[in-house]
Amino acid sequence: MKTDILIIGAGPSGTMAASMIRQAGLNAIIIEKEQFPRYVIGESLLPRCMNLLDEGGFLKAVEKQNFQKKYGAVFIRNGNVCEFNFNEQYTQECWTWTWQVPRDEFDKVLADEAEKKGVEIRYKTEVTGIDFLNDKQLVHTKNADGNEQTIEAQFVIDASGYGRVIPRLLDLDLPSSLAPRSSLFTQVEDIHRPGGTAGDRITIVEVEQGVWIWIIPFSNGKTSVGVVAPPEFYNRYEGNYTEKLRKILDDEPNTTGRFKDVPYAFDSVFIESYSIAVKQLYGNGWVLTGNASEFLDPVFSSGVTFAMESGWKAGMLAARQLKGETVDWDKEYVKHILQGVEVFRTYVNAWYDDTLQTIFFTDNVSPKIKSQICSVLAGYVWDKSNPFVRNHHKTVYTLAGMLKEGKV
Ligand code: FAD
C-alpha cells in the first residue's frame, strides 16, 4: 500500500495538515490509534485558530456545533480581576472571538470534515515503527485486531501529540526549559454556573504563585476544571485524584461555591510533567507538528493553536516538496514555529515568575499596551508590528519593572 503523505494522529494538527495536503491535490492517510470521539485535554481555543480553521476549510462545520463562544479571558488573584476582551486588540484584521470546545466533539468534527475532503483515516490503528529511507518511509501499523500492515509514504507528518512517535523512535526528546508542572482535571456538571458573562467566560484563578485553576465552560452545561501546580503541591491533599481535586477546589474561595458537590463527569485525570522539548523539528522525509514537537504550558491556551498552525504549515510545505519545489524547512517551518513558541515562552515564564501579574493586576497600563498584550493572548504571535511580539522579553520585563517602581 502506498500514499503520498502519511500522518500519524487525527488531532487538530493531523487533520489540519491533511486538509492542506488535499487542497494541494495530493493523497493523505491518517493513522489514528483511538476510535473517535475520544477524550483529550485542551479545550480553550485562541482567536488565531479561527483563521486556521478557515484556511483548512473547517470553519462552517465547526460553527454548526454551537460551541460556547469565547470573547476573552479573565484572570483572578486575591480578589483582583483582570479581564482581556478580544475585541480590544492591537492586531488588525484579527478574529475577536473563538470557542471553548469539548475536544472529543471538536476533533471528531475536524476528522469527519477531513474525510469528506478525501482523506482516509484508519482508526484503532497504531503506528508501531518507521523505516526511514532516503526516498521513502516505510510505516509499520497494527490495528486493534492485531493485523499488521506496512504503508509506503513519500513523507510522514508526526502529529501524534502525547504519543510522540518519531521523537521516541529517533530519541529526539529533550527536557523542557520550564520547571516540571503537573495537572489534575475533570469536567463537571456546572449546576451552580452563574448567569451571563461571568458563567461563560474562561477564568484563570491564581491560588498561589505557580499554582492556578482553570474554569472552561461549555455550551452543553458541563465545565472543564483543572489545576496546574508543581508536582509536590498535590502531596498536601489526601485521597485519590478526584478527592484531591475536590479539596483543592473547596479550599479556593473563588471556586468553592461553584464547584462544591457538583457531579464529576469522569474520575479526575492527572498528567505529570507535561512540558517537553525536542532536538529537531524535521528530517529527511518527516516533520513534527503539534504536541509531537514542543509543548510549553497550558496557562495561555496556546496548544491547539500551535497544533493547527504547525499542521497548516507542515501540510503545505510537504505538499510543495512532493510536487518538486525546494523547501527550506529551517527558514519556512522551524523559524516560523519557533517565533511563536519563543513569544509564548516569555509570557509563560513571566506568569510563573510573577512578572505578568504585575502588569495584569494594575489599572496603570494604557489601553494601547493592554491591546498589544491582548493580541499576544489571542495567538497573534506572528504580528511583528506589535512590540509585545517583536521585543517580547524586553517589553514585558521593562513594563513590569517600571510598574513596580511606580514609573508608569
Ligand atoms: P492530540 O490532540 O493529542 O492528537 C494526537 C493524536 O495522535 C491522538 O488522537 C492519539 O490517539 C494519536 N496517536 C498517538 N500515538 C499514536 C500512534 N502511535 N499511532 C497512531 N495514532 C497515535 N491547549 C489549548 O489549546 N487550550 C487549552 O485550554 C489547553 N489546556 C491544556 C491543559 C493541560 C493540562 C495540558 C497538558 C494541555 C493543554 N492544552 C491546551 C494543550 C493541548 O492538549 C494540545 O496542545 C493539543 O491537544 C495538541 O494537539 P495535537 O493535534 O498535536 O495532538
In a domain, 349, yes or no: no
Is residue 70 lining ligand 1, measured as CB closer than 6 Å? no
E-state strands within 28-167: 28-31, 68-70, 72-77, 80-85, 98-100, 120-122, 125-132, 137-143, 148-158
Distance 307 CA to ligand 1 centre (A): 8
Measured from the CA of 107, which atom of ligand 1 is nearest? Answer: 2
Pairing status of strand 182-189 against strand 173-175: unpaired
Taking the centre of ligand 1 as the mean of its atom positions, its distance from the CA of residue 20, in whole angstroms, is 19
* Residue 13 CA, closest ligand 1 atom number: 51
Q: In the prediction, which pLDDT does 198 show?
A: 87
Assigned domain for 74 exists: no
pLDDT at residue 345 greater than cutoff 90: yes
Rounded to the nearest angstrom, the distance between the alpha carbon of 401 and the centre of ligand 1 is 36
Among all chains, which residue has been given the C-alpha cell 483543572? Answer: 226
- Is the predicted pLDDT of residue 370 greater than 90, yes or no? yes
* Residue environment code for 293-316, b if the CB has 16+ CB neighbours within 10 A, otherwise e: bbbbbbbbbbbbbbbbbbbbbbbb
Task: Say yes or no: CB of residue 383 within 6 Å of ligand 1.
Answer: no
Do 247 and 363 fall within a single domain?
no
Residue 4 near ligand 1, beta carbon < 6 Å: no
pLDDT tens digits, residue range 197-232? 889 999 999 999 999 999 999 999 999 999 999 999
**Ligand 1 site, residue 271, Cβ cutoff 6 A:** yes
DSSP state letters, 318-344? HHHHHTT----HIIIIIHHHHHHHHHH
Express each pLDDT in 39-54 by its tens digit. 999 999 999 999 999 9
Amino acid at position 157, single letter: I
- pLDDT, average across residues 309-333: 98
**Same structural domain, 130 and 169:** yes
In the numeric block, which cell numbers belong to residue 101? Answer: 470546545
- The pLDDT mean for the chain works out to 97
Supply the range of the domain harboring residue 307.
2-68+100-175+277-340
Asked which of 223, 249, 271 is the last residue of a domain, the reply is 271
Is there a single domain that holds both residue 321 and residue 364? no
**Which residue's CA is the nearest one to ligand 1's atom 3?**
161
CA distance 275 to 185: 16
Domain identity same for 303 and 383: no
Lookup result for grid cell 464529576: 264
The single-letter DSSP state of residue 94 is: -
Asked if residue 9 has its Cβ within 6 Å of ligand 1, the reply is yes
Q: Can you tell me which atom of ligand 1 is nearest the CA of 46? A: 25
Mean pLDDT within 281-307: 97
Cα of 361 from ligand 1 centre, angstroms: 31
Cα–ligand 1 centroid distance for 159 (angstroms): 9
Examine residue 37 and say whether the peptide bond preceding it is cis (omega within 30 degrees of 0).
yes
Model pLDDT, residue 166: 98
Residues 304, 334: one domain?
A: yes
pLDDT at 408: 84
Question: What's the rounded mean pLDDT across residues 351-359?
Answer: 97
pLDDT in tens, 118-167: 999 999 999 999 999 999 999 999 999 999 999 999 999 999 999 999 99
189 is a domain residue: yes
The residue whose C-alpha atom lies closest to atom 35 belonging to ligand 1 is: 298
Number of domains composing the chain: 3
Report the separation in Å between the CA atom of 199 and the middle of ligand 1, taken as the mean of its atom positions: 26
Residue 47 CB less than 6 A away from ligand 1: no
